[in-house]
Amino acid sequence: MLPASLARVRACREWRRIVPSGWALLGPGPCPGWRQSIGTQAGGLRAEKAGGESKQVSVQRDQREETLLSAAQKVKEAGRDFTYFIVVLVGIGVTGGLFYVIFKELFSSSSPSKIYGDALEKCRSHPEVVAVFGESIKGYGEATRRGRRQLVSHMEYVKDGLRYLRLKFYIEGCDTGKRGTVHVEVKENPERGQLEVRYIFVDVDTYPRRTIVVEDNR
């Protein structure tokens, strides 16, 4: 029979050959320091597992930060788009208001410009006015600071609940050099709601001075 020490050495060699490195066994092993070796291997596995969990937590944190940044960027872009939308709406409103004022001034039957144009045409077609000023007659308004005669003087008032509008402009004969002042008054028709001519007369400002009645509906 072999001595006990030789038997233990042979058994330890057999165990090292059979059991792979890193395996954890329950209970004591036949070799001295076996438990310590097993414990070292298990500790390495735990450290490797802990390192993997740390990397996973870091990846999740990075993903959350990217999600927050993406959400903030979307909110910023949405705010910028909303600002552009408001600017466009304001521009459309201002443009629409300008078009409304221009349309009302040029095409409305109650605007001073429209009344001025109609009165000037009546003066140009009136036989007595043509006899004094000639066939070619031009009309103009008050002179501006730059010397341009574009403003038509007018005054609006309300009497007995009805709207009145008075205009004053000037005419001049291109061939004769005769000049005159045209006075116009219109009154609101209570049934139609439109402005109708009360009178149009022309004061001849050059010699011989006189007044020509173009229309009188008073």
Tell me the pLDDT tens digit for each residue of 95-136.
766 654 554 544 556 788 899 999 999 999 999 999 999 999
Q: What is the pLDDT of residues 42-85, one digit of tens each?
A: 455 454 555 555 656 565 666 666 676 676 677 777 777 778 77
The Cα 136–Cα 51 span in angstroms is 103
Q: Which of 3, 11, 57, 5 is nearest to 31 (CA)?
A: 11
Q: CA quadruple 173, 176, 180, 184: dihedral positive or negative?
A: negative
Q: Which of 116, 98, 108, 194 is nearest to 154 (CA)?
A: 116
Assess whether pLDDT exceeds 70 at residue 217: yes
Cβ neighbourhood burial of 98 (10 Å; 0-12, 13-18, 19+):
exposed
